[in-house]
Structure 1
């Protein structure tokens, strides 16, 4: 008797019902936030390119905050270091949840999205480095095109009216989570200034207190919010980028449920904070970072200077090739079978969508060229052009498959027995078939009753033998 064929792992297969619900809820908030992000970016660009541009610059450069605490910062600086700490706090919770309860908890299942994300960050950096090596440009911005902006990507999906199947949406979200992890590491390792060890020690002591309070089950925002602000201030003054404090606190939250809990503390806090991050923190950061002066000459310079051309090609070409190529090679190496309802062009389309690198790319651009305001603005313009180009390319590719996606989404959400659970999760259970039989019998009885009241002749099944 021949041995059974070894089980081949599935790629982009159906999610579990709890994971599907979590992904749907998370992406709904991110989609709304992405639309606000787009609006904030448009306002910033219009404001910075009209006669009101002086008022934009004045507000952006306005300094507020206690100088005695080392926090006399510009409004733009507060948005980048302060508000984005909230964004990275949510990213920390997402990463923790993915590691303990999501797609990354199983090393075999995590291999494909992790390899795709790593290749999707390495390839843009290599493209940027190649362009700047050939063109004798600066290698300082190698990390700018490595990031993916999930909110911006989802806003593009909302605008073009394409609803991805849940497996593709989950793949995009997992890519973004791993992407955020590596962006955090890049910021921590490559953009840390001269260290103030006293402040850094204080930040670590504050994080230890934060962790201890969580372990003891202490509750109350009035305890954690002031402590988080102290940790953030100390981290900022330590020379380490202040957003790292947000990530560290997010990773400390428990993201597994215990007996009697419907949601873990991490998921509960993420549910509360995510709208603040997606709806306020990130759009305000975009408002004060995306306002760059753009003229015909400036746009032309983006495609002639090695630094800016490297950013554009890194986002559009590097991201797409890196994610698609890494995914295809990993699937071949692991012999993973692609979901038969999807095709490799679908993966390519999602890979091109990941070339939208708005928020974190703008942040890294500010950090990489902090001493050169003119070059910083040029890099920001390159990020905007690269993200827009990637968005247009992805829109075209996704529109080619929109009917297939719509059919898959309808099938995923079909709930004929109206019990709140999609039928694809029940159709192989006896209980489901019993409910469906009862529903069909009830509908048949209603039809016969309507026919009787209307005076219509009974069908053959109703006639007496």
Structure 2
């Protein structure tokens, strides 16, 4: 009887707009967000240093450092440090995006269309509405409309850093939804960059890129056959092939970060089984994510932010000029207003006109707070700003003022709103830990309508078993 008293209220995860998925997925996402929290704090510090330096008496040294050229010209790699950060280091970030996207659709909760439809629809709304607002504000200045995609991005590292700073105990359901939303957002951003921000295309290097990419994919899919149970040998083969793919894609005119996504997609996310035996150790996806995520969150993205966020505001006069520019206004309104309207609006429509409902333990105010967090569009927004407007020119500077300002405003508003719900979130966190039947799986993740194998996943076994995919 005591177990009945402590039993949390029943939920309908699959039919909920925002609900509890599998326990394994929750554990995995919790680990990702812990790593991204540290990276997000480093990211904010790096951006702050860049802004202070770029507006100090030593500003010339900052821009001189950013514009130092390094690389081999015959390979089209004679690039500035700022470009190396944007095209090279961010490829590591997008490699992890590729890994995460494939994992979500192959082994994560998004493989179930009933769970995937809500975050996908919300992400599309969170991209479309900001873009429409930006274009509407800049309708009278057609030269600015090239930056329509700037306010469409969500920076998950910055967002979870905000959560860490304000100390919000965000429930697992909201954390899963936030990360899934950001992953889908990244997929849309990748598509936008590839389709709309490729000025010229060289087919020769692009076709040549298929050779190392194909070999890389074959070796990655069969890495245990080629390299045995130890993966150390894979690094010496796969990394050069990955670099060759990246260099050729860069030479083709397509933004080189797209190569990172393709390389991530090529990695299998389901662990292979030895013939008739147990799993043969961790999968290559797990190995690469373990090795590359600290590099991405702790170095690659912060260095990019350092070189990209340093904008010379020009004092109060320059700040006033940027603040009154339709370009800046469109970005701020797109991120701070458009993102919440798009995400919450689409979710409300799904709740209104479909059988799914909001989880009983949550309120719409929780979703609004989450949508405000999604308005922190930092890393990818800065990248798209550099692709839209020439670096160092007023439109580029004003775009970055808008991105920085909008991210700060969205962070403050989200912090205030989520902080008011912190007591409720603490209670939900305690409820999530209840395991009345002592089977090692918290009761909130056990529900009758979950497919077999999802009701009782083993901790750390989110990948499952089976053939490589």
Give the corresponding residue for 1:337.
357
- Alpha-carbon distance between aligned partners in 2 of 1:424 and 1:147, rounded to the nearest angstrom: 32
Alignment counterpart, residue 343 of structure 2, candidates 323, 328, 332: 323
Cα distance in 2 between the residues matched to 1:53 and 1:25: 38
Query: For residue 249 of structure 1, what is the aligned residue in structure 2?
Result: 263
- Aligned-pair CA distance for 1:258: 3.3
Partner of 1:289: 308
1:168 aligns with 2:174: yes
Give 3-state SS (helix, strand or coil) of 1:10's partner: coil
Q: Residues 225 and 9 from structure 1, CA distance in 2 versus in 1: closer, same or farther, beyond 3 angstroms?
A: same
Higher RCO, 1 or 2 (CA under 8 Å, sep at least 6)?
2
Structure 1: segments with no counterpart, 5+ residues = 1-5, 429-465
Determine the structure 2 residue equivalent to 1:458.
none
Aligned residues: 423
Larger Rg: 1
SS of 1:229's partner is helix
What is the distance in 1 between the residues matched to 2:321 and 2:441? 54
Alignment partner of 1:277 out of 276, 279, 296: 296
Q: Residue 441 of structure 1 corresponds to which residue in structure 2?
A: none
Superposed displacement of residue 7, structure 1: 11
Q: What is the CA distance between 1:211 and its match in structure 2?
A: 1.1
Separation in structure 2 between the aligned mates of residue 373 and residue 9 of structure 1, nearest angstrom: 49
Q: CA deviation at 1:427?
A: 11
Cα gap change, 1:257 to 1:380, in 2 (>3 Å): same
What displacement does 1:252 show?
1.1
Separation of aligned partners in 1, 2:397 and 2:298:
25
Name the structure 1 match of 2:148.
142
Show CA shifts across 1:387-424 (max 9, x none): 11111111111011111011111221356898865465
Q: State the SS of the aligned residue for 1:292.
A: coil
Deviations 1:10-68 (A, max 9, x none): 22222211111111111111111101101101111111111121111111010011112
Q: How does 1:400-415 map to 2 (within 5 A)?
A: 400-414=420-434
Shift in Å at residue 136 of structure 1?
5.9
Distance in 2 (CA, whole Å) between partners of 1:371 and 1:7 is: 46
Provide TM-score, normalisation by structure 2. 0.86
Tell me what 1:130 maps to.
Answer: 136
Q: 1:204 to 1:7 in 2, by over 3 A?
A: closer
- Change in 2 beyond 3 A, CA 1:134/1:193: closer
User: Which secondary structure does the structure 1 equivalent of 2:77 belong to?
Assistant: coil
Measure, in 1, the Cα distance between the counterparts of 2:153 and 2:181: 10
Q: CA RMSD in A?
A: 2.1
TM-score for both structures, normalised by structure 1: 0.87
Q: Structure 2: 5+ residue runs without aligned partners? A: 1-11, 228-233, 449-469
Partner of 2:419: 399
Q: CA deviation at 1:212?
A: 1.6
**Residue 425 and residue 99 in structure 1: after superposition, are their counterparts in 2 closer, same or farther (change >3 A)?**
closer
The 3-state SS of whatever aligns with 1:104 is: helix
Find the aligned partners of 1:340 and 1:426 in 2 and give their Cα distance: 16
Q: How far did residue 241 of structure 1 move?
A: 0.4
